[in-house]
Amino acid sequence: MGPRARPGVDGTFLTHVRAPVGAVARASTLERALETVREAFVDDVDDGRGTDDGHVSMSKPFETRAEDWETMRAGVRKELRGMEAIEVTFDALRVFVNEDETRAFVAAGFREGSERGDKRALVRAIERVNRALEPLGFPRYFDDPDPHVSLLSMTRPGRERVDELRRRVESMDVGEWRVKVNRIVIDISGQPQKTVWGRAPLPAPDL
């Protein structure tokens, strides 16, 4: 999901840079794998079915003030200018835990250690966002980012449950899930979402 609804607390707004993938049809093998996870962890997993806001995170969530927004958006737009759309093929299920260890996520991602070109392209996009945000005093994303789209989550799972989830999930065959990253947005809690980079898909040629 985008930033949690906590607009204006102490004059700050939770902010997140992300690349939406939308309600893209998933491979049947991926859907079957997710259903297996839901069944195995039925009491723990928050079911993400029916949502249409899957995304690749381009930043950590961070706090901003209204006076930051114009400069921040302009900086991100400048760094992303000229970037091409990215065709991405996710080929693995991965498990990630947030920094305060309150949630675990089952995500479509890349096999561990992958150096594929589409992954490198996403990492370069994240670095562009870092270059825009860091000079403004906002946090850098992880130094070794592993781009992914979260599909299911688990609240306060505990280390043993996370280990069990990881053993179950990361051995699954999920086929391939192809998405196109052609838009990056900045989400600010309580504010309209703003697109800071986009590449419109070309229409099919007349034959």
32 contacts: CB under 8 Å, gap ≥ 6: none
Residue that wins the pLDDT comparison between 122 and 200: 122
Residues 13-198, CATH architecture: Alpha-Beta Complex (3.90)
Q: Are strands 86-90 and 103-109 parallel, antiparallel or unpaired?
A: unpaired
- Mean confidence (pLDDT) of the chain: 90
Amino acid present at 132: A
What pLDDT does 50 receive? 44
What pLDDT does 46 receive? 80
Distance, CA of 192 to CA of 171 (rounded, Å):
40
- What single string gives the DSSP state of each residue in 96-150? EE-TTSSEEEEEEE--TT---HHHHHHHHHHHHHHHHHGGGTPPP--SS----EE
As a whole number, mean pLDDT of residues 158-181 equals 93
Kindly list the distances between the CA atom of residue 46 and the CA atoms of 83, 128, 170, 178, in Å, as whole numbers in the listed order: 35, 32, 19, 24
The residues spanned by each domain of the chain are 13-198
Distance, CA of 136 to CA of 59 (rounded, Å):
14
Give the dihedral of Cα atoms 199, 113, 132, 21; nearest 10 deg.
30
Closest C-alpha among 136, 130, 127 to residue 63 = 136
CB-count exposure of residue 179 (10 Å: 0-12, 13-18, 19+): buried
Distance, CA of 19 to CA of 193 (rounded, Å):
12
Distance, CA of 161 to CA of 189 (rounded, Å):
31
What pLDDT does 14 receive? 96
- Residue 132: pLDDT band (50, 70, 90) is very high
Q: Taking the model in full, what pTM does it have? A: 0.88
Distance, CA of 56 to CA of 148 (rounded, Å):
6
